[in-house]
Amino acid sequence: MEDYYDIDSILAEDQNVKCVFQKNIPGLAWLEGGHDDTTVPMDIETPEFFGPKVRNALRADATTVDLTKQCPNFFRFGTFYLQLVDDMALSGVMEGAFKARLQMTMDHTQSGGNSNTTDYLNRLDETERELYKAGMESSASIHQWNQQSFGRIRSASEMLLKRKAT
């Protein structure tokens, strides 16, 4: 589906989904669509973390929802899920929630991670965590440049650790 070698993508696809079969399928092997039959004899049940409870929570205040608790790969799995199921409302909710949370993530990357962020970070899903890391790294490198700590010869951090230990 996505990038074949992307480990996050593989992990996101690993999410279990409840399905209900409408027919008996003896020796089930490969869930490719029927060739003549246009209807697939199977229903996918909406996972709990895409249910109305979470949706309403995301609509009300997306930044406070703990997505890791719901599904660690919430957004990535959501895109896979939407490829299988037509659910316009869900895609709208996800997009809105992602944008609302993005603003918060951006603010946290700018603050240099010194404020009390662990609480917020725990609520991020994997995609957002990646974003946070990328943002942190770039703002940290600019900060370092501003402080002119580049180009100055210092002892390696490992050496300092060793010195402390002895």
Partner 1 sequence: MALPRHLKNGLTPLEIEFLAENELIEIEAAIDTRTDLELLSGTLPALKPLRTNKVPLWMAISLKKKHKCNIRVPDWMTVEALTRMLNEEQSVDMFSPLPYHYMEIAQILLENAMDDIPSADATRTLLKDLREARQSKARAGVDALGLTYIQMDNIGLMEINEIRPFFTKAFFEIQKLKPAAVGGINNNNMDNDLYDYDYGGGSMDGRYNAGGQGNSSLLADFDGKASYSSSTVPESSRFHSTQGSRMN
Kindly state whether residue 82 participates in binding partner 1, applying the rule CB under 8 A: yes
Question: Residues, the chain, total?
Answer: 166
Considering beta carbons, is residue 61 or 130 the nearer one to partner 1? Answer: 130
From the list 131, 115, 114, 119, the residue with the least C-alpha distance to 64 is: 119
Instruction: Give the residue with the Cβ less far from partner 1, 114 or 150.
Output: 150
Please choose, from the candidates 46, 69, 44, 45, the residue with its C-alpha nearest in 3D space to the C-alpha of residue 57: 69
- C-alpha distances (whole Å) from 161 to each of 72, 148, 149, 153, 156 are 34, 23, 19, 17, 9
**Footprint of partner 1 on 40-69 (CB under 8 A):** 40, 42-46, 51
Closer Cβ to partner 1, 1 or 162, answer by number: 1
**Among 112, 137, 159, 160, interactor with partner 1 by CB under 8 A:** 137
Where does residue 72 fall: left (phi above 0), alpha (psi -120 to 50 degrees), or beta otherwise?
Answer: alpha
Binding residues for partner 1, rule: CB under 8 A, are 1-3, 18, 20, 32-34, 38, 40, 42-46, 51, 75, 78-79, 82-88, 91-92, 94-95, 98-99, 102-103, 106-107, 109-110, 127, 130-131, 134-135, 137-139, 141-142, 144-146, 148, 150-151
